[in-house]
């Protein structure tokens, strides 16, 4: 048996230790691996991986253990947990948008009292048993799956306490129902898409689909064809007039049509016979 029992390394200012054992003479060469880490700077890890600087701050700790076969990549099984100490999450676009809608400053920059994730690894899939982010007044939680190619499917929940709930408009406040945790009111939502382009129905659940579409338009998250249709009707009624030479031009609010938008066919102009 090949055994490496005292592996150690440093990354992100923290310490990483590990254990690895393999049976090369056995069929498919089964192996066992364990890794633990502590005091790893989250911001440095995100930056080194190509992410934006300053989004996540704090110190990471956790562990991971796995078994598998070197000759069979589909035999990998494992489990682990990650904790973020002294954590802070800021300028995450979805939370900033929700914070602006609800007028909750705490959502724009989360100072975390608790941040942890527990997960399992199986062939092609990571199952998140529990993901929890908690501030003094807010709790974000999720569970679900992430495929190895980055597809997300998470059942999530935003929970707020009485202090935050009392600040909301009545129509939004009613969407938060009493949760299992005393003194907290929760709203369930979904997260899908991919890690690179996640999607969620949280805004729909907060304010309703119609208002959500309008908000997404205002923040550049989506466009409707209603203004374009109105403009087409106006052009059909009033012919275009040339602008006087030297007059100031008013910037157009019309966006460039998307490739899938249907364009009107060209109209032939009759020419008088000489």
pLDDT reading at 222 higher than 70:
no
Neighbours of 167 (CB within 10 A): 13
0.95 exceeded by the pTM?
A: no
The average confidence (pLDDT) of the chain is 80
pLDDT, position 121: 97
Tell me if 29 is assigned to some domain.
yes
Same domain, 115 and 68: no
pLDDT digits (tens, 9 = 90+) for 21-42: 999 999 999 999 999 999 999 9
Classify burial at 68, counting beta carbons within 10 Å of its beta carbon; exposed 0-12, middle 13-18, buried 19 or more: buried
DSSP 3-state of 25 = coil
pLDDT score for 250: 33
Which tens digit of pLDDT belongs to each residue from 161-177? 999 999 888 888 999 99
Clarify whether residues 205 and 102 are in a common domain. Answer: yes
How many angstroms separate the CA atoms of 148 and 134, rounded? Answer: 27
Q: Which residues 6+ apart lie within 8 Å of 257 measured at CB?
A: 228, 263
Residue 230 has pLDDT above 70, yes or no: no
CB atoms within 10 A of CB 73: 10
Q: Residue 112 pLDDT more than 80? A: yes
pLDDT at residue number 179: 94
Q: 257 pLDDT exceeds 50?
A: no
Residue 165 and residue 184 share a domain: yes
Report the distance separating Cα 260 and Cα 242, nearest Å. 30
In this structure, the strands spanning 198-200 and 138-147 are unpaired
Q: Is residue 69 part of a domain?
A: yes
Residue 189 lies in a domain: yes
Query: How confident is the model over 208-227, as a mean pLDDT?
Result: 51
DSSP state at residue 71: T
145-150 mean pLDDT: 94
Work out the percent of the chain whose per-residue pLDDT is above 70.
75
Given this model, what pLDDT does residue 244 score? 40
* Domain shared by 138 and 195, yes or no: yes
Residues 169 and 115 in one domain: yes
Say yes or no: 61 and 99 in one domain.
no
Average pLDDT value for residue range 254-259: 35
Total domains in the fold of the chain: 2
In the predicted model, is pLDDT for residue 102 greater than 60? yes
Residue 171: inside a domain: yes
Model pLDDT, residue 220:
52
Residue 255 lies in a domain: no
Phi and psi torsions of 237, nearest 5°: -85, -45
Q: How many CB atoms lie within 10 A of CB 35?
A: 18
Q: Does residue 231 or residue 118 have the better pLDDT?
A: 118
Asked if 146 and 179 sit in the same domain, the reply is yes
pLDDT at 133 over 70: yes
Range of the domain at 130: 92-210
Is residue 6 very low, low, confident or very high in pLDDT (cuts 50, 70, 90)?
confident
């Amino acid at each position: 048996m090949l055994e490496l029992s005292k592996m150690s390394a440093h990354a992100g200012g923290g310490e990483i230790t590990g254990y690895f054992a393999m049976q090369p003479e056995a069929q498919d060469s089964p192996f066992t691996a364990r890794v633990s880490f502590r005091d790893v700077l989250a911001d440095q890890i995100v930056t080194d991986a190509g992410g934006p600087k300053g989004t996540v701050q704090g110190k990471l700790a956790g562990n991971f253990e796995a078994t598998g076969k070197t000759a069979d990549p589909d035999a990998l099984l494992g489990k682990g947990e990650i904790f973020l100490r002294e954590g802070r999450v800021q300028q995450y676009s979805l939370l900033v948008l929700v914070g602006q809608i609800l007028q909750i400053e705490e959502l724009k920059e989360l100072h975390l009292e608790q941040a942890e994730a527990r997960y399992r690894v199986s062939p092609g899939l990571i199952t998140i048993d529990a993901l929890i982010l908690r501030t003094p007044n807010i709790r974000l939680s999720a569970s679900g799956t992430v495929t190895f190619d980055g597809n997300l499917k998470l059942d999530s929940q935003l929970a707020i306490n009485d202090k935050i709930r009392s600040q909301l408009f009545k129509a939004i406040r009613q969407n938060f129902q009493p949760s299992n945790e005393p003194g907290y009111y929760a709203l369930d939502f979904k997260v899908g898409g991919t890690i690179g382009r996640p999607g969620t129905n949280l805004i729909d659940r907060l304010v309703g689909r119609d208002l959500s579409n309008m908000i997404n338009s205002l923040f550049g998250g989506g466009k409707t064809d209603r203004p374009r249709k109105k403009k087409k009707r106006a052009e059909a009624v009033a012919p275009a007039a040339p602008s006087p030479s030297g007059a100031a031009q008013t910037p157009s609010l019309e966006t460039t049509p998307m490739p899938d938008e249907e364009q009107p066919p060209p109209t032939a102009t009759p020419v008088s016979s000489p």
